[in-house]
Structure formats: C-alpha cells, structure tokens
Structure 1
C-alpha cells in the first residue's frame, strides 16, 4: 500500500507550460510538484513557463501544508534553456531568486538534457536527482547570451571556480556521472528510479522540523552576505523558535522514541 496519495492538480492554476500538482504523505506532510510541459520544444521555456514556475514556487512556499517542492518535466529532457523563438519575459530573471528565497527545500528531478537556464535552475535547487541520461551544460556564449552575474557566479559555490569556468567559458557539457563528480547533482540513478529517489528525499525532509529547515535553508544564503548579517537568522525568521510548536513536537517525539509528525492540522494552522 502506497504511503502517498495520488497527485492532484492545484485549483486555479492555469498554465499550459507548467503543471502544478500536490500530494500528501499519509502520515503527514505535503509535496508540491511543478512539471515543465513543453516536450515538443525539448522543454525550452517560454514566457508562460517562466511565469508558471514563478507563481507555482510562490504558491507552494506560502502553503503551510507543503514541506518540499519538486521541479520535474514531461518528455525525455529536463530542458534546453529559453525558447528564443517564442520569447521570454521578465519573470525569467526572478525564478532563481524565488528558489533561493523559498522556505521549502526544492528538488530538481533531471533526465536528458539539462542545459542553459535549466542547468542553473537545477544547481540553484537544494537537491538534484539525475538519471543516467542526464547531460548538464551551458550554451549561452554560443548564441551571445551571457546570463546574469549571479547565475554565473553562483555556479562557483556549486562546482568551484575552475569547473564553473569550464561550464561557462568552454560550454563543455557533462554526463550524469561527470555532473555528480563536479557537484551538479547529489545522486545518479537509472532513469526509471528517479521518482523513487525523489520520494525518499521528500520523506526524509518531511520528518524534520519545518521551521528549523526554513531557517537552515536561508542560512546557506549567507555565502552571499556579510558574515555579521548571517549570525541571527533564527532571530530574524522565527523570534520564538525554541518555543514553537514544531520544535516542541520534535523534542517530544525524541523522548517518546517515535517519529515526529509536524503535519497535523493543528501544527499546520499554527504555521499560517
């Protein structure tokens, strides 16, 4: 018997390029899934897709019943960047910042080409699960698109300066295994096992204290901030963190030798 409910479309979210669904773990905790849905264009992203990603991430981040966000795709490829023929919009530059600001961990599930915008979106995510078919790389300099400063600079936090320059200044594409060695993904599995691997990561995260996860996640952003500013993330985000119901449930479960459940209706309401 499955530990999860079926995926359900999110009401009121109308977007042909992005499918937005959620499902619940039967013992508590929800996952939001954003599926890139332009397989006929190798999932190149148009303006509608960028807007859908931005809106979906924001909606999932504001939902107290959701603990993890997954970005995946229909068709054989995660995507090949922006659709130059269809055109893009201003939302393109806001997707990566939205992922970084998000309070929920974000997982990229990658098969096939993960090129251009999709590559730096994937390395901006907290976790990247790659299938054996995955290919990572940048194509911007081939077509005169330098990308924004942070999209380039942030790659050095992921793969280091030398490998970052390999990606951007040579446009060298990496296989899934090379991507794993470089730090572009957390794990490589057979393509057919990607969903199961993502599910395991979601399961692990949903057993942890959500407010603590949010604080720690934002603390990683300190790499781009003055160090003194990053010293009090707990105070900035959750003034009464150690008295919060989430923390109390975590401590109680530890002493009672059981798994915590941070996803009861009562706790979800208190996080609103």
Structure 2
C-alpha cells in the first residue's frame, strides 16, 4: 500500500498514520485526507490491529489544517488520485475532512493522537476527535478559522464544547489564540504532556496497555462514549454544506488572501 502524503505503518498490533507534508507544517490537501481515509479503513478491517496512532512528520507540527496555498474562491483545489481505489477526488476538502473525523470516531478501536507540535485549525479538530491525545510539551493548540475565512461548526465546535466546556470553546474559536500544552492539559484538551523526546515512548506504552485490554470491551465503551454526541454528525454535515457555500464568497477569500499575504484581514466591510 503506497502513499504520497502520509506514511502508513503496521507493527505489533498498531497502525500508525503519519501526515508527511513537513514543508507545509503537515497542512493537509484533499489527497492527504483521501489517503488517511484509506489507511483508517485498512486499520479498521485488519484483525491484527488493535490501536491506531495519528501524528505528524518532523518535530514542528501535528497538522495546521487545510493547506491555504491551494485554497481559492469556491474552496480547495482537488488533486488527481488515480492511485486510490475509490473515487473521492471530486469531493470538496471539508467533506473528506468530515469523513476522516467520522472514521476516527466510529472505528471500534482506540485512536491516539500523538501531538508533536502545532495542532491548529483542521489539525486541531483532528486531535480533538481522537480517543486520547498525548502532547509534547512544545505542542501548540488553537483555531484559526474566523481569522482566515473558514470555520468548523460541527465536531470542531460542538464536540470541542463537550471536551473543554462551552465558555472555553467559544474563546478558542472567537479569539483564535494559541495555547501551550500545559494550557491544553489544564482545560482537559489533552490527556498527558511529556517531554518531546519521550513522546513516542509514552504513546507506545499507552498502546501496549490498550492492547492488553479486551477489544470487545474497548469497542463497546467507545460506542457508549460516542452515543451522547452522535447527533453532532448531522450538525457536521450541515456545517460542511454551509462551509462549501461560504468558501465561494469574497469574505472567505479575504481571510485566505490576508493569511497568504501576511497581513491583517479587512472584514469590516462584510458586517451588514
């Protein structure tokens, strides 16, 4: 199984997905997400896999979300993906992102986010929906949508509020500030914070512990934990429709252009 944007490894009961776009701080494109969907699906059906790890290549970023350099009016550009076995190349990027999130939630195996650096925007949402998040002490967390002309009105906001509380979730989205790993630990956004050189070791220890547990019990518990927030999937789908429409506006494009031009966006003219 060959990939371009991710590294996919399976060993000792683990499946490991590494977002491998270091030069882009592991920002994802449609191809990245499509490859993640294929890897997650493979991990789901492989009976030798009991736990999944998601992380980013290098030591600077877990993922900083959608690659703004390929975003234009109307959304993100699509890549040709003839190497994949299913036709997802015509789906908008938010739809592919939504599929990744839903796979992480519904795969009946624990999914661990190994957060090795920046987890921003869609990358932040990615770790939020994982069953556990283990962070390097150098990791940074936050949202950027309202600053760059984007938003996640599904799991990224509604489920985040369940994790950190509604007041804090609103702060995270409205102010678009960045938070340290210790901040994230205090608000319940991550499970543990460890030195960067110990991150892989600790994640492997947690995986070893999980693999000693009953897989049926873990699957049932995961389904139970998800049950209360299952309605968010419907909200997320509606939010995706709204986001795809929003990307076709001048207001959204102003946020993206300002980000690429390293200037403050001028959203004042869109307050009607």
Q: CA deviation at 1:125?
A: 0.4
User: What are the residue-to-residue correspondences of 1:61-80 with 2, within 5 Å?
Assistant: 61-75=44-58, 76-80=60-64
**Deviation string for 1:188-242 (max 9, x for gaps)?**
010000011101110111111111111111110121258xxxxxxxxxxxxxxxx
Which residue does 2:214 correspond to in 1?
Answer: 209
User: Does structure 2 conserve the Cα–Cα contact (< 8 Å) formed by 1:15 and 1:48?
Assistant: no
User: Does structure 1 conserve the Cα–Cα contact (< 8 Å) formed by 2:125 and 2:155?
Assistant: no
The structure 1 segments of at least 4 consecutive aligned residues displaced by more than 3 Å after TM superposition are: none
**Deviation string for 1:169-206 (max 9, x for gaps)?**
11121101001001111100100000111011101111
Identify if the C-alpha distance between structure 1 residues 51 and 225 changes in structure 2 by more than 3 Å, giving closer, same or farther: closer
Q: CA deviation at 1:58?
A: 1.1
1:32 and 2:15 matched: yes
Cα distance in 1 between the residues matched to 2:155 and 2:193: 26
**Deviation string for 1:93-123 (max 9, x for gaps)?**
2111111111010001112211011111101
Which residue does 2:9 correspond to in 1?
Answer: 21
- Structure of greater Rg: 1
Cα distance in 1 between the residues matched to 2:193 and 2:155: 26
1:135 and 2:157 matched: no
1:153 and 2:141 matched: no
Q: Which has the higher contact order (CA 8 A, sep 6+)?
A: 2
Unaligned stretches of 5+ residues in structure 2: 71-75, 78-92, 232-272
Which residue does 2:27 correspond to in 1?
Answer: 44
1:82 and 2:70 matched: no
TM-score (normalizing by structure 1): 0.74
Which residue does 1:98 correspond to in 2?
Answer: 103
TM-score (normalizing by structure 2): 0.74
Cα distance in 2 between the residues matched to 1:148 and 1:18: 26
Cα distance in 1 between the residues matched to 2:55 and 2:123: 10
Which residue does 1:119 correspond to in 2?
Answer: 124
- CA RMSD in angstroms comes to 1.3
Which residue does 1:5 correspond to in 2?
Answer: none
**Deviation string for 1:61-97 (max 9, x for gaps)?**
1111100000011122112110022236331221111
Unaligned stretches of 5+ residues in structure 1: 1-11, 25-29, 227-272
Matched position secondary structure for 1:82? coil
> Number of residues paired by the alignment?
209
Matched position secondary structure for 2:68? coil
Cα distance in 1 between the residues matched to 2:124 and 2:132: 13
1:181 and 2:196 matched: no
